[in-house]
Structure formats: structure tokens, C-alpha cells
Amino acid sequence: MPEKHPQPQQRQLLPLVGDDRQELRADCGSCFGLCCVALTFSKSSDFPVNKAAGTPCTNLQQDFRCGIHQNLRQKGFSGCTVYDCFGAGQKVSQSTYGGTDWRQDPGTARQMFDVFPVMRQLHELLWYLTEALTLPQASPISAELQRALDKTEHLTQGTPAAMAETDVAAHREDVNVLLLRTSDLVRADIRRKKKDRRGADLFGARLKGADLRGVTLRGAYLIAADLRGADLRQTDLIGADFRDADLRGADLTGSIFLTQSQVNAAKGDAETKLPPSLSRPTHWG
């Protein structure tokens, strides 16, 4: 008989000091391959096959490791190298379900696969809120940011049933209000001189060497844009689509709300400057 799932352990929420986001970084070795099972793959330039949600990828091994991890891009699975769960995979696997995987207890599989994307969204919000709390310009709203972070963290500690019923969309709206205020505070000294590019269609745009400091590119479409040598310091990049964007030589230090997934989707080189919280993708060479 599969062992019963213990209730998720509640831990005391303490104020964050500095930019400590280690728990929000993927630890695939502690996960039950949830992104390889729970998510849908659509045949495209990112995936060579279609895969339905809840169906294990054919490359997923019994130990929940990827059989072609070292050759994902060569095999057409570039989408896998871009995806980032923000640590949700290990949280669901080891905390929410107490280390009992969906193969050991098949009856939990469907619920676990439903919980995973909820946790992923909450962890993404934790990433942004944690960053916001490190920004000196956001100090006027630090108490509100901390309360939002505490509430988000509390939601991640819920039971599987509670997690499945979480209204993530409503919570995201509340958090987004604070993130917008954070962005305005960070960019206040230079944003008045800059054009608002929020949600802009910049597909293939020629922005080589552009001074984009303080610009908001929230949700902008920068697919295949030429951003070589561009200055993106103090730029709001939350939700910007950087697929195949050329960031060679660009300066993204001091940009706000940039994620590893966005960086992984872009092209860069040794001259690309990244925030210290992010890693240079191996495929950049």
C-alpha cells in the first residue's frame, strides 16, 4: 500500500534579508519529473512532438531524469531548456506530497499534476516579490511587499486540496498592483523621458545599441529583436518575450523582474551583462 501523504509542514515566515532565492531555483533531482508529465507539449520549433497534459514524455526515465538532457536542443526540445518552474517541482514533490511520487501512488497523479502549475505561478510571484524587497527605491512600500510575500508563501504551504482551489488569478492581480508600484519607484528618476513600451509589438525590432534605461517593456513581444549592445538597466522586463532575441553585448544589470526563463530563451554571449541572480545559459557558448 502506498504511504499516506503527511500534511505539509508549516514553517515560520521570516523577513527576507538580501536576495535569497535559492528555494525558487529548480532542483530537478528532488522533483518527480512534473514538468515532463503535467504539461502539454505542442509540436513546434520548441518541441518535435505533441504531448498531452498528464502523459509522461517518452524521454522521462524511471528515476525521473531526462534521457536526452545533454542533447535537448539537438533533438528539437529547446522548449525544455527554456522552461523554469521556479522551484515549484521540488516543492510539490517533497513538501506538498511528502516525497511520495505519482508512480508510487497513482491515485494522486491527476491532483499532483493540477497542483504543480498552481505552485509554479505562486513561486514565480515569490521570485518577483523577493526581488522587489531588495530594491532600495521600493522601501516606501516594503511593508506591503512583505505582507504579499508572506501571504503567497502561506498559499504554497497548503494541502493539495487547498492548492487546487487557490484562485491564483485573483492573487496575481493583487500582487501585480504592488509590482507596478515597485517598477514606478525604481524607474522614477528617468522614466519620464522614456516612451512606454508596455505590451508593445517589437517582433524583430532593430534596437541595436538602444538606450532603454527606465523603459517599461512589461509583456512586450521582443521575439527575434536585435538588442545587441542595448542598455537595459532599470528596465522593467516582467513578462517580456525574449525568444530568439539577440542580447549579445547587452547590459541587463539593474533591470527588474527578469527571469532565468527569459534569459534562456534569448541569444547572448560572454559580453552580455546579467543580474547576479541569473546564470549565463550554457547554449550561449
For each of the domains in the chain, give its residue range(s) and CATH number, in order of start: 23-186 (no CATH), 195-285 (2.160.20.80)
Phi, psi of 149 (to 5 degrees): -65, -45
Instruction: Measure the CA–CA gap between 270 and 284, rounded to whole angstroms.
Output: 8
* pLDDT mean over 74-79: 93
Q: Which three cell numbers stand for residue 200?
A: 508593445
| DSSP one-letter code for 49 | S
pLDDT recorded at residue 19: 63
Burial bucket for residue 140 (CB in 10 Å: 0-12, 13-18, 19+) = exposed
Question: What pLDDT does 10 receive?
Answer: 32
Please state, in angstroms and rounded to a whole number, the distance separating the CA atoms of residues 175 and 34.
Answer: 26
Which residues on adjacent β-strands are paired with residue 221?
201, 241
pLDDT at 3 over 60: no
Q: What pLDDT does residue 285 have? A: 73
The percent of residues above 70 in pLDDT, for the chain, comes to 92
> Per-residue confidence at 5, pLDDT binned at 50, 70, 90?
very low
Listed in sequence order, the DSSP H helices in the chain are: 78-82, 88-91, 109-134, 142-156, 160-164, 168-187, 260-265
The band of 271, judged by pLDDT with boundaries at 50, 70 and 90, is: very high
Residue 243 above 50 pLDDT? yes
pLDDT for the residue numbered 193: 66
- pLDDT at residue 18 greater than cutoff 60: no
45-60 per-position pLDDT tens digit: 899 999 999 999 999 9
Instruction: Reply yes or no on whether the pLDDT at 172 is more than 90.
Output: yes
- Average pLDDT of 69-82? 93
Question: Does position 7 have pLDDT exceeding 70, yes or no?
Answer: no
Q: Which of 252, 265, 282 is nearest to 221 (CA)?
A: 265
Please give the average per-residue pLDDT across 161-187, as a whole number. 96
Measured distance CA(13)–CA(129) in Å, rounded: 14
Is the predicted pLDDT of residue 160 greater than 50, yes or no? yes
Residue 188 predicted with pLDDT over 60: yes
Mean pLDDT of all residues in 245-268? 97
Distance CA 251, CA 253 (A): 6
Q: Is the confidence at residue 215, as pLDDT, over 50?
A: yes
Report the alpha-carbon distance of residue 75 to residue 57 in Å, rounded: 13
In which region does residue 274 sit, left (phi positive, over 0), alpha (psi from -120 to 50) or beta (all else)? beta
Confidence at residue 191, expressed as pLDDT on a 0 to 100 scale: 64
In whole angstroms, give the CA distance from residue 64 to residue 147: 36
As a dihedral over the C-alpha atoms of residue 252, residue 129, residue 125, residue 81, rounded to 10 degrees, the angle is 30
Is residue 196 pLDDT above 90, yes or no? no
Is the pLDDT reported for residue 37 higher than 60?
yes
> How many whole angstroms separate alpha carbon 152 and alpha carbon 13?
11
264-274 b/e (C-beta count within 10 Å ≥ 16 → b):
bbbbbeeebbb
**66, 80, 118, 112: which is closest to 93 by C-alpha?**
112
Q: How confident is the model at residue 189 (pLDDT cuts 50, 70, 90)?
A: confident
What is the mean pLDDT of the segment spanning 98-107? 96
Which residue's entry shows cell 508549516? 10
Q: Does 17 have pLDDT greater than 80?
A: no
Beta bridge partners of 41: 51
